[in-house]
Chains A and B, each alone.
Chain A
């Protein structure tokens, strides 16, 4: 079997808290993605889903302590020399960020920022050629009047157009992997769907691997091959998309699905009570226990191990059985 495109093993990240002690924001995460596959990483804010990706790209602020392994095409990224990881960033791995307004530099034209992405990895391309390429990329992501648009500044774009431009920039060097961190959260609902369609089409057309980070299961439902649900710095459930939705094992995943409005759903929308823990105030035992309806004494004591359960894998002492399926029950 061929090597996975991205293979993360036991990734751990600690930050120093206000009182000087170290707290783990990521507590041993395993993820992997096949070449050309789509992985959805789902969780509430604070679950560690974004920093896991920022960590192996070495984009975290200084002072974070990282251990574990993240292999990209078989090459270890953790602890890689900055000069080498810079060659990979933007060239082999493209990034799309949540808020395209603040993610673009406000005083430079969009075109020059895309041209920069190209020229950073190939000095032989002239500025003019790079700008021409930016126009072609704009056409690819369906931005009308590309010749005029590349000369405009970020604030002259609408939110949706800005995110298209962001995607164009991530595609600039034909990467093998794109990491999209909440790419639709800052957008209007109608625009969200367009951006998701665009991402799905381009990915299929170009055969790019995609990691989609989101708090919204609905966003990844139609696009992901596999889903990993994160909570409190760990992956709590992982599996192919359909089983995660239809043979849900972890109560937290079930809660997230309950929070997804479905067309057939006539009952009241279920919500997970409470708020996610901060990395400095994580409870003993299973970190989901304060919010879990099924929690027993053992959940307060022991962190559940990650094990195969039915068609998915999950970390729970009392996983949901088929009779407790949420959707379609």
Chain B
């Protein structure tokens, strides 16, 4: 297992190189003329300006030179300049990343906690009405178009019964807390502003639930099936023979064994979360990199899309690596080797 992780670690730079190359190729194959986005239209007739811009952006160089320069910039953290915001893409992303992180972390917590609870209760009372309901809830969660469920829930819970506030991270005209982590809920706590914390949390609740629901479906199914499998294992019979009640067999014995497949699935759900975050942010006007990517895609802002894609891929690869490490850490049969 350790050897596997080392191999994975070694493969990551190569995969990143592949990702960067594909992103570069995509950006070079665009039909639109990058010059059009860089040079104001009335100056296009001025060859001197056009040449100067070409030289500045390196567009006069042959493809391999541009490729090398692109990679060089990438290593220095330069993702290019957004056509629409006219600012470095890296700066844009850095500014918006905490919003996405806050959403994804909250969704992960909701999805995992809810999935564990539902899975545990389903396994404990399998075959009951509760089991069927939980299974339907889980199945719908992983089948719903997230951009639709978000919309419908926003209408029902915010417009009709005002249970949660509307879109965005905070009410309009409310100042965000001073930045430490970029996560408004945490920053509000650090600043000691409890009412601001509740406001941020209330805004976070619905989008995080919508996003977490999709994950809940996957986790509930997995936890339920691994728990039921565990209850039929020899170690469960041993526990019963020791006098353990069924609740202890489930939580003390089957659950620790179910954590191992759960860890492997978490990396997989991360792909779900990224996809979901893009759409959820679009629905809830959440100022993260997902809504940034949507706006960039709509305005054909290639550097911005490319930047988000690369950052997303890095996060994705890291999440999978973390999963592997967590798996090795959680499984005592692997730990010794």
A/B: CB atoms within 8 Å of each other: yes
- Inter-chain contact B260/A89, CB cutoff 8 Å: no
Q: Which residues between 178 and 198 of chain A lie within 8 Å of chain B, taking CB atoms?
A: none
Q: Are A99 and B332 in contact (CB under 8 A)?
A: no
When distances are taken between beta carbons in the complex, the residues of chain B under 8 Å from A121 are: 243
In the complex, how many angstroms separate the beta carbon of B218 from the nearest chain A beta carbon? Answer: 22
Complex Cα spacing A73 to B212, Å: 55
Q: Are A95 and B241 in contact (CB under 8 A)?
A: yes
A-B pairs under 8 A by CB, number:
77
- Residue-wise, chain B 232-263 has the 8 Å CB interface mask toward A (1 for contact) of 11110111111111001000110011011000
Taken residue by residue from 33 to 61, chain A's Cβ proximity to chain B (1 for < 8 Å, 0 otherwise) reads as 00000000000000000000000010101
> Which of A89, A116, A120, A155 contacts B332 (CB under 8 A)?
A155
Given A102-B234, A103-B234, A107-B257: A169 in contact with B242 (beta carbons within 8 A) = yes
Assess whether B257 is in contact with A106, with CB atoms less than 8 Å apart.
Answer: yes
Nearest-neighbor residue (CB-CB) of B258 within chain A? A107
Interface size on A, residues (CB 8 A): 31
Check B257–A97 contact: CB distance below 8 A. no
A105 touches B243 (CB 8 A): no
Are A86 and B333 within 8 A (Cβ)?
no
A82 to B243, CA, bound (A): 10
Cross-chain contact A105 with B242 (CB below 8 angstroms): no
Asked whether any CB of chain B lies closer than 8 Å to the CB of A200, the reply is no
Question: B256 near A103 (CB under 8 angstroms)?
Answer: no
Chain B's interface size range is 20 to 34
The yes or no answer to A293 lying at the interface (CB within 8 A) is no
A108 within 8 A of B: yes
**Is B75's CB within 8 Å of the partner chain A?**
no
Q: Which A residue sits closest to B243, measured CB to CB?
A: A90
A149 CB, nearest partner CB in chain B, Å: 14
Cβ of B11 under 8 Å from chain A: no
The distance in angstroms between the C-alpha atoms of A155 and B336, with both chains bound, is: 10
Task: Decide yes or no: A116 and B244 within 8 Å by CB, A106-B332, A153-B332, A155-B333 being known contacts.
Answer: yes
Within 8 A of A (CB), among B77-121: none
| A97 & B234 in contact (Cβ 8 Å cutoff) | yes
**Is residue A156 within 8 Å, beta carbon to beta carbon, of the partner chain?**
yes
Which residues of chain B have C-beta atoms less than 8 A from A316's C-beta? none
Point out the residue from B235, B241, B248, B253 that lies within 8 Å of A89, measured CB to CB. B241
Evaluate contact between B332 and A105: CB separation under 8 angstroms.
Answer: no
Question: A155: which B residues are within 8 A, CB to CB?
Answer: 332-333, 336
Q: Does B331 contact A (CB under 8 A)?
A: yes
A15 to chain B: which residues have CB within 8 Å? none
CA distance A46 to B336 in the complex (A): 39
Interface pair B241/A57, CB less than 8 Å apart: yes
Q: With a CB–CB cut-off of 8 A, which chain A residues contact B235?
A: 102-106
Q: Taking A59-B237, A116-B252 as contacts, is the C-beta distance between A106 and B333 under 8 angstroms?
A: yes
- A300 is an interface residue with CB less than 8 A from chain B: no
A117 within 8 Å of B (CB atoms): yes
Q: Does A234 touch B at the CB level, under 8 Å?
A: no
Chain B nearest CB from A80 CB (Å) reads 13
Interface residues in A87-115 (C-beta closer than 8 Å to B): 87-91, 94-95, 97, 99, 102-108, 113
- Asked if residues B243 and A120 are in contact (CB atoms below 8 Å), the reply is yes
List of B residues within 8 angstroms of A94 by Cβ = 241
For chain A, residues 282 to 298, give those with C-beta under 8 angstroms from any C-beta of chain B: none
Distance between Cα atoms of A105 and B252 in the complex (Å): 10
Q: Are B241 and A88 in contact (CB under 8 A)?
A: no
| Closest beta carbon of chain B to A73's beta carbon, Å | 16
CB atoms of A104 and B243 under 8 A apart: no
A residues at B contact (CB < 8 Å): 57, 59, 61, 82-83, 86-91, 94-95, 97, 99, 102-108, 113, 116-117, 120-121, 153, 155-156, 169
Sample of 8 more A-B contacts, CB < 8 Å, known A89-B240, A90-B241, A90-B242: A57-B241, A94-B241, A105-B235, A106-B332, A107-B332, A108-B256, A153-B332, A155-B336
10 tightest Cβ-Cβ pairs between the two chains A and B = A90-B243, A90-B242, A95-B241, A102-B234, A105-B235, A153-B332, A89-B243, A117-B242, A107-B256, A103-B234
Show the binding face of B for A, using Cβ within 8 Å. 232-235, 237-245, 248, 252-253, 256-257, 259-260, 330-333, 336
